[in-house]
Amino acid sequence: MSTSDPSKLISKADKLTKLSLTRWSADWKSATVLYEQAANGFRVARNYEKAKLAFEKASQGQEMLSSPWDAAKHMESAAALAKELRNWAEVIDFYRKASELYMQCDRPQPASDALAKGARALEDALPDDAIQLYTDACVILEDDGKEQMAFDLYRAATSVYVKLEKYTDAAAFLLRLGLAADKCNARNSQCKAYLSAIIVYLYAHDLKQAEKCYNDCSQIDAFLGSDQNRCASKLLSAYTEGDVEEIKRVAQSSAISNLDNVIIKLARKLP
Amino acid sequence: MTVIDLITRVDAICKKYEKYDIDKHKEANVTGDDAFARLYGVVESEIDAALQKSEAAATEKSRATAVAMNAEIRRTKARLLEELPKLQRLALKKVKGLSREELEARNDLVYSLKDRIEAIPDGSTAAAKQSGGVSGGWAASSSYTGIKIDSSSEAFESEYFQQTEESDRFRQEYEMRRMKQDQGLEVIAEGLDTLKNMAHDMNEEIDRQMPLMDEIDEKVDRAASDLKNTNVRLKDTVNQLRSSRNFCIDIILLCIILGIAAYLYNVLK
């Protein structure tokens, strides 16, 4: 069965699903099975284009059979193959469709996972779309109340922003991360997020913004009593005094070395 | 007259004086109930030990060991001085079987004990003696050696600034040791910082995974109970099937027997 030519399987399945004079209703069940086999066969043969097509059709079949879960899974495989083919528009499409199907199953977590995978695939090629996908993924998780999972996504999105040198956006994202951390009582992550935001502002040579950000964050009790707070105040005072040595010394301190790698690089490059 | 001679003399005098005291105290100690006598005996023995150590330090060739021993002696002295007020309090207590004169004598003993403790040579008092001229050695030396971290540099500076090279070297050593300690402490602090950060992250990660584990737990429980149900039902069905099969076999055999009986009846008819 699986050794027979996948293209033959596809044509057979197509025949099953095409409505014609002799066939009044499409036989999706057997067709889906055939499509899946064909897709696997193509994937093994590394015929990505055809495999992708087969997965698409298989997913469609599963939808018709009202099993959105399997449909979503097939969509994801199709999207992975599209990534191999570097067909970015299709990648976005497929991942979005997969995530919608997951939401139909009432499973927001795999939905956001799918979007995150898409975003990661697109980071190099289409960073803006990647950011869009990351934001959507975060929104899905927040709606579900599972902000904890969103931390990683926020951090990845910030790194993309920093790569694009959109520092204000990066800082805004970090503040959103802080907010999410606050909701889950994740003090350490929260303080780290705020410290990272301040560093990003300083890197963008925006002292006013940085100070404003620092003042805002000082309103929050958790940040006020933390290590990161002290480090931030040292950094800002070193900046206002224009003491390069002090800045470099604070950047080497342990509080900053515990942050994200991207942020550490920024900090080391200060002033 | 060298310092060493002075010290030996003082030691000899001390020893002579001690002999008398020890006899008296041994008698008092025989009872064992007397807390004062016990504590006194302990302090006495410690003073002896310190004196011996100071003698060894005085004759020590290696500078470092001498310094270390002096430090030890200073620490012992400070400890003993701390215990003195306790001793005094005990001295004032009335113990049965003790005459009033003995009680007062005890007070005096405590005071003299203080002098003796402070007179134990520890490197700083030796120099004091040198500048103070030959005395009985009993005069309470003005250098109050409170224990700081292993040094007596203050005493050195305030009293005899005409430095002997020994005190100079000693001060340098002290500075170097302090710097090394600071460096070590910094390394420890950094390590602790890293640990704290890692611990915080682990905490958050575990918090994140807790609801997931709860979900898994629930789902697995449900699946397990489903399985159990299914198993029980399966068992029932299989039993039923078997019994119904037996039933069928019974019927079939019955039919066969009836058939054979009818045939025989027909034949015999």
Q: What is the pLDDT of residues A128-184, one digit of tens each?
A: 888 888 888 888 888 887 778 888 888 888 888 888 888 888 888 888 888 888 888
For A260, the token pair is 């994200």
DSSP one-letter code for B31: T
- For position B138, what pLDDT does the model report? 38
Chain B residue nearest residue A190, CA to CA: B204
- Single-letter amino acid code for the residue at A95: Y
The residue behind tokens 């449900």 is B222
CA distance A189 to chain B (A): 8
CA distance B182 to chain A (A): 17
DSSP one-letter code for B142: S
What span, in angstroms and rounded, lies between the C-alpha atoms of A216 and A199? 15
- For position A44, what pLDDT does the model report? 86
CATH of A157-270, one of 3.40.50.300, 3.40.50.280, 3.90.1150.10, 1.25.40.10: 1.25.40.10
* Burial of residue A210, with CB atoms counted within 10 A of its CB: 0-12 exposed, 13-18 middle, 19 or more buried: buried
In Å, how far are A203, B6, B117, B167 from B159, measured between CA atoms? 57, 20, 20, 12
Q: Do A148 and B203 touch (CB under 8 A)?
A: no
- The secondary element (H helix, E strand) that includes residue A48 is helix A48-64
CA distance B191 to chain A (A): 9
Residues 6+ apart with CB under 8 A from A71: A59, A60, A62, A63, A101
Q: Do B207 and A148 touch (CB under 8 A)?
A: yes
What span, in angstroms and rounded, lies between the C-alpha atoms of B231 and B236? 9
- A1-11+28-144 matches A157-270 in fold: yes
ipTM of the complex: 0.76
Chain B residue nearest residue A147, CA to CA: B208
Residues of B with CB under 8 A from a CB of A: 190, 193-194, 197, 200-201, 203-204, 207-208, 211
- For position B141, what pLDDT does the model report? 40
Q: Is pLDDT of A219 > 60?
A: yes
Contact with chain B for residue A3, Cβ under 8 A: no
Residue range B18-53, pLDDT digits in tens? 877 766 666 655 555 567 778 888 888 888 888 888
Chain B residue nearest residue A185, CA to CA: B204
Residue range B152-183, pLDDT digits in tens? 555 555 555 666 788 889 999 999 999 999 99
Q: pTM for this structure?
A: 0.57
Q: Is pLDDT of B125 > 80?
A: no
CATH number of A1-11+28-144: 1.25.40.10
Q: Do A148 and B204 touch (CB under 8 A)?
A: yes
Task: Give the three-state DSSP class for A45.
Answer: coil
- Per-domain boundaries in chain A: 1-11+28-144, 157-270
Higher pLDDT pick, A167 / B141:
A167
- For position B128, what pLDDT does the model report? 43
- For position B150, what pLDDT does the model report? 54
Q: pLDDT band for B223, please (50, 70, 90 cuts).
A: very high
Higher pLDDT pick, B98 / A59:
A59
Q: pLDDT band for A9, please (50, 70, 90 cuts).
A: confident
